[in-house]
């Protein structure tokens, strides 16, 4: 084995050269799925794992997740929400206690084969409502213990049968799940919305992704929830992507797990309960939204590296150019820039390579620049090139990073706003659905009607009922069945 293995080394070397020369070999407009996979893999974010339905988050991709965690942990701390850790394993009987929840999750639960003396099956957590509520019954005793607010960062497993898509769909993924218990329904309602707003802020300010947001219809809500709120992005390929959800779970789990508290009135009461979560899918969303046919484009606030410095090396000026590069590196030290001094690659190869990886800014320094004490600053997102005095480089870099963050959001917002298409009747609905736009239409709210729409359009589903539009649209007729409408709702295909 080792012999044959060593023989393959030379071939591996050639393969490397070929693949790296080629960059992204397919256009976003031609085959969005293949383009996406190449951007993630060649951009060094992730790769498929040898076990079905799973993938590996490589260091470059994981750093994006850490940046998201750092941002969100600060938000959590500000709200007095603590991190904790609950077991991966959940007894089967826990799922059975909340009937809707059990029905919703049963098709996709993974079970442990080791049984021994155990009398019941053990599930690998698909989500942690049940096991947390079992603890909450011990932790919550009086109104003084409320609100109780817990978050955990962990892996969860849902035994998907559809094809894996890096970050977007997999059997295991990383996420955060928050679980809160409140004295009153209105406390619960209020914070369910507060968390949704935190998610919207995260998507827009950190990932530069504009979202639509509102309530899910009953057909699309979380298994066991009174209602679910969602933030959703609309991708350039005409499909929506759910980015985060916040659920008011009412009192169902509380009753099922005997959670109660002594109120200020000295009486026993059943509290209210919410949960909210987002996952590593956020990374996939940022990739899909911003990247182009040269590879990754990353918003500066999540980019693992903000700047790369590439020297243009000729033998006679090598040391001067490298000294200038090092000077710039030190000036930008707090941004932790990469200085790519490798001798075995040409500057052109390096440009392509760092573009593949989506580093927001590139600084080029060559012998001619030294004569004018300048360097070249190039933006990844639009390719804008500027000559900057070396003495001014730090300020210029900070300004450009903010502008890139702003411009990526503005560009995506324009796409989203331009995609929303109000629709008045079914014929129009069918046409617009074919164009893969984000449809806004009145609907009766009937689950069977929603299902028929999905069947007749090859998979168009409701995304959310935007806030404020519920009552306004009641006067209209349902876009499909013509009955009086309950609300106005977004429709589209989705990831």
Considering beta carbons, is residue 96 or 239 the nearer one to a second copy? 96
Question: In angstroms, what CA-CA distances link 263 with 112, 251, 268?
Answer: 41, 16, 6
Q: Does 112 bind a second copy (CB under 8 A)?
A: yes
Q: Does 82 bind a second copy (CB under 8 A)?
A: yes
Is the separation of the CB atoms in 120 and 96 below 8 Å? no
Pairwise CA distance, residues 217 & 235, whole Å: 21
**Which residues, numbered 387-426, are part of the site for a second copy (CB under 8 A)?**
none
Handedness of CA 219, 222, 228, 233 (dihedral sign): negative
173: left (phi over 0), alpha (psi -120 to 50) or beta: beta
Q: Does 98 bind a second copy (CB under 8 A)?
A: no
Q: Does 22 bind a second copy (CB under 8 A)?
A: no
**Which residues, numbered 115-154, are part of the site for a second copy (CB under 8 A)?**
116, 118, 121-122, 124, 131, 134-135, 138, 141-142, 144, 150, 154
Q: Does 110 bind a second copy (CB under 8 A)?
A: yes
**Which residues, numbered 155-174, are part of the site for a second copy (CB under 8 A)?**
155, 157, 159, 161, 171-172, 174
Minimum distance of a second copy from residue 81's CB (angstroms): 9
Task: Mark residues 264-293: x for contact with a second copy by CB under 8 A, - for none.
Answer: ----x-x-----------------------
Q: Does 58 bind a second copy (CB under 8 A)?
A: yes
Q: What DSSP string runs through 202-269?
A: IIIIIS----EEEEPPGGGS-TT-SEEEEEEEE-TTS-EEEEEEEEEEETHHHHHTT--EE-TTSSEE
Query: Residue 19's CB: how many other CB atoms inside 10 A?
Result: 13
Bridge pairing between strands 438-443 and 461-466: unpaired
Q: Does 72 bind a second copy (CB under 8 A)?
A: no
- Identify the DSSP state of 113: S
Considering beta carbons, is residue 143 or 426 the nearer one to a second copy? 143
Considering beta carbons, is residue 285 or 432 the nearer one to a second copy? 285
Is the separation of the CB atoms in 375 and 365 below 8 Å? yes
Q: Does 45 bind a second copy (CB under 8 A)?
A: no
Binding residue (CB under 8 A) for a second copy from 37, 193, 262, 430: 262
Pairwise CA distance, residues 198 & 137, whole Å: 28
Q: Does 62 bind a second copy (CB under 8 A)?
A: yes
Query: Residue 175's CB: how many other CB atoms inside 10 A?
Result: 17
Considering beta carbons, is residue 92 or 327 the nearer one to a second copy? 92
Minimum distance of a second copy from residue 414's CB (angstroms): 34
């Amino acid at each position: 084995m080792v012999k044959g293995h060593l023989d393959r080394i030379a071939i591996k070397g050639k393969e490397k050269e070929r693949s790296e020369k080629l960059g992204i070999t397919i256009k976003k407009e031609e085959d969005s799925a293949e383009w996406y996979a190449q951007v993630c893999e060649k951009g060094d974010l992730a790769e498929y794992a040898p076990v079905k339905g799973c993938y590996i988050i490589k260091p470059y991709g994981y750093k994006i997740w850490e940046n998201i965690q750092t941002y969100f942990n600060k938000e959590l701390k500000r709200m007095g929400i603590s991190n904790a850790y609950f077991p991966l394993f959940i007894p089967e009987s826990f799922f059975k206690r909340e009937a809707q929840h059990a029905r919703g999750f049963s098709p996709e639960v993974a079970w442990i084969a080791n049984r021994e003396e155990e009398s019941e099956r053990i599930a690998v957590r698909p989500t942690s409502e049940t096991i947390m509520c079992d603890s909450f019954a011990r932790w919550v005793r009086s109104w003084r213990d409320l609100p109780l607010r817990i978050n955990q960062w962990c892996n969860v497993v849902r035994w998907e049968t559809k094809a894996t898509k890096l970050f977007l769909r997999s059997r295991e993924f990383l996420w955060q799940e928050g679980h809160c218990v409140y004295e009153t329904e209105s406390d619960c309602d209020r914070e369910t919305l507060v968390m949704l707003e935190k998610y919207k802020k995260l998507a827009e300010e950190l990932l530069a992704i504009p979202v639509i947001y509102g309530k899910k219809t009953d057909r699309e809500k979380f298994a066991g929830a009174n209602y679910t709120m969602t933030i959703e992005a609309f991708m350039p390929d005409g499909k929506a992507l759910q980015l985060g959800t916040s659920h008011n779970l009412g009192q169902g789990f509380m009753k099922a797990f005997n959670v109660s508290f002594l109120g200020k009135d000295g009486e026993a009461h059943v509290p209210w309960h919410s949960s909210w979560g987002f996952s590593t899918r956020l990374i996939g969303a940022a990739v899909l939204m911003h990247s182009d046919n040269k590879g990754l484009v990353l918003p500066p606030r999540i980019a693992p590296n903000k700047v790369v410095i590439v020297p243009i090396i000729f033998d006679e000026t090598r040391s001067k150019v490298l000294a200038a590069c090092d000077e710039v590196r030190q000036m930008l030290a707090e941004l932790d820039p990469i200085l790519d001094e490798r001798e075995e690659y040409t500057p052109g190869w390096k440009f392509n390579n760092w573009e593949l990886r989506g580093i927001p800014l590139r600084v080029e320094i060559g012998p001619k620049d030294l004569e004018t004490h300048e360097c070249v600053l190039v933006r990844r997102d639009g390719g804008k090139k500027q000559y900057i005095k070396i003495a001014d480089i730090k300020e210029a870099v900070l300004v450009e990073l903010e502008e890139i963050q702003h411009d990526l959001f503005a560009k995506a917002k324009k796409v989203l706003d331009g995609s929303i298409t109000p629709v008045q009747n079914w014929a129009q609905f069918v046409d617009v659905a074919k164009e893969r736009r984000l449809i806004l239409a009145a609907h009766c709210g009937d689950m069977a009607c929603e299902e028929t729409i999905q069947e007749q359009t090859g998979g168009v589903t409701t995304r959310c009922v935007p806030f404020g539009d519920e009552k306004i649209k009641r006067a209209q007729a349902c876009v499909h069945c013509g009955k009086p409408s309950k609300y106005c709702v977004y429709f589209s295909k989705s990831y």
